[in-house]
Structure 1
Amino acid sequence: MQHWQLIPIIGFILQKGKCHFCKQKIPLSSTVIELAIGVIFIFNTIIIANTNLIFTSLLVVWLTLISLEDYYTLSVDSITLEYGGLILLIFRFHTVITNLKANFLIIILFTIILISCNLLNKFGTADTILIVFSFLLLGFYNTLVVILLSCILGIISYLIKRDFSASHPFIPYLSLSILIIFYATNIFKIPII
């Protein structure tokens, strides 16, 4: 491949939306995702202080990866989910310790409830793990808002699609909600609760 073919969006336009080798149409969703992530990275670079830039960028990439995987396959690779989350927890170690100290019993009890929901097939394992990571990164009350916002986004999506028979991924809604709450509380300093 030529170097210009690898440039996001420009390569898509210059190749007229088709693969260079097989001439099949490249899904527009791929280009939209590239554009969205590019805009988020530019936004992060302009708005966020250098200390949070790496963490925020990793958070966006990790949530995007697991969201896309869940959206297309209705499952998430445990390595991507767990190791990605652990790397983020290491970056925010002080925040994790603070959240654990402040809400240890609540987090343990809620984690038990989440695991119970998982065992009853009300939640997927990846959903449960992502919510626990959210507790550790955002705190208990912000995670409750994440869950509420995720449910609202999911309901809106179901109403728009009107496909109640099929399984739907929940991680994309959780991921978007985590990003909204993270940006609101950490970047824009908006108190949620």
Structure 2
Amino acid sequence: MFIAVIGSFIGSFMLCLTYQEGSLFRRSQCDSCHSDLVWYELIPVVSFIMQKGRCRQCNNQIPLHIFMTELLFFMLFLLFFSESSSALYAACISFLVPLAIYDIHHFKVPNHMLLLFACILLLIRYPLLFDIQHLVYSVLLIILLHLFYLLTGSIGYGDIKLLSLFALFLPLTYFLLIFMLTYFIGGIAVICFLFYKHNLKKIPLIPFITASTLLVFKFYDELYTIYFGGFL
């Protein structure tokens, strides 16, 4: 339970950092009146409920996605760290969930978050960079991703940059499972969306990458057997 509470604090901070690059170097503020928030206004989930979803100073509505993100982080950290702990899992959850929410709102990926994510992955996954075979596969995958972007134009370059990080810092089978699941889940979602919006022009891809990554982390053995039959 303690790690889940810590997760909700991480979620609140990471969402703020995703939406406001300069928030790392200043106190937390209300998005509406820009007044500084005191400590009891920064307790994830609890503060939102106690303040009835409104700023204590200006009484404007606090965006609901902030509350939902804090609650989601609480549940994800409870789910993924109840039995074992992994720096990779924590890093991916901490970055992917806020990026998915930002992508839903703006259809783009903030470069400062991708750069920070790359630094964290480098810190915890640097041994992979000494594996020559892995590096060869990674370079080939990154080239293929960029060719896919240039030839089809069906994916944003922010998505390509995120997938390139995965190709570099995740094992090959993890990357392949995430990539396949992303388009499988995304394809089903697009079909569902078309029932309600026939002139659909684009959809955010990061939410599907995030969902696929979480599924692969949680059910890797089962998915590996289903997709590869245990032969790769």
- TM class by smaller structure: 0.7 to 0.9
1:44 CA drift (Å): 4.1
Q: Does 1:117 align with 2:153?
A: no
Aligned-pair distance for 1:169? 1.0
- Structure 1 contact 103–140 (Cα < 8 Å) conserved: yes
Query: Are residues 96 and 153 of structure 1, via their aligned partners in 2, closer, same or farther at CA, if it must alter by over 3 Å?
Result: farther
**Aligned match of 1:107:** 138
CA distance in 1, matches of 2:168, 2:52: 44
Change (3 A) 1:107 1:78: same
Flag structure 2 segments of 5+ consecutive residues without an equivalent: 1-36
CA distance 1:171–1:78, shift in 2 (3 Å): same
Q: Is the 8 A contact 2:109 2:159 kept in 1?
A: no
Is contact 1:138–1:182 with CA below 8 Å preserved after alignment? no
When normalised by structure 2's length, the TM-score is 0.69
Measured after TM superposition, the shift of residue 190 of structure 1 is: 5.1
Shift of 1:161: 2.6
Match of 1:63 among 96, 102, 109: 96
Identity %: 24
Q: What runs of 5+ residues in structure 1 fail to find an aligned partner?
A: none
> How does the TM-score come out when normalised to structure 1?
0.81
| Bigger shift: residues 101-110 or 72-81 | 101-110
Conservation of the 8 A alpha-carbon contact between 1:75 and 1:126: yes
- Tell me if 1:36 matches 2:67: no
Of the three residues 63, 81, 86, the one matched with 2:114 is 81
Q: Which moves more between the two structures, 17-26 or 72-81?
A: 17-26
CA distance in 2, matches of 1:130, 1:56: 16
Deviations 1:123-152 (A, max 9, x none): 222211221222233322321221111112
- Tell me the distance in 1 between the aligned counterparts of 2:135 and 2:121: 19
Q: Structure 1 stretch 169-178 or stretch 15-24: which is displaced more? A: 15-24
Q: Residue 67 of structure 1: CA displacement? A: 1.7
Residue correspondences, number: 185
Match of 2:158 in 1: 126
Match of 1:148 in 2: 180
Range 4-13 or range 161-170, more displaced? 161-170
Query: Is contact 1:134-1:178 (8 Å) kept?
Result: no
Give the equivalent residue in structure 2 for 1:93.
Answer: 126
Q: Structure 2: how far apart are the matches of 1:96 and 1:42? A: 31
For each residue in 1:14-46, what CA deviation from the matched residue of structure 2 results, as whole angstroms up to 9, or x when unmatched?
Answer: 112222233233333321211010122233443
Moved more, 18-27 or 58-67: 18-27
Indicate whether 1:136 and 2:168 are aligned: yes
CA RMSD of aligned residues (A): 2.4
- 1:167 paired to 2:202: yes
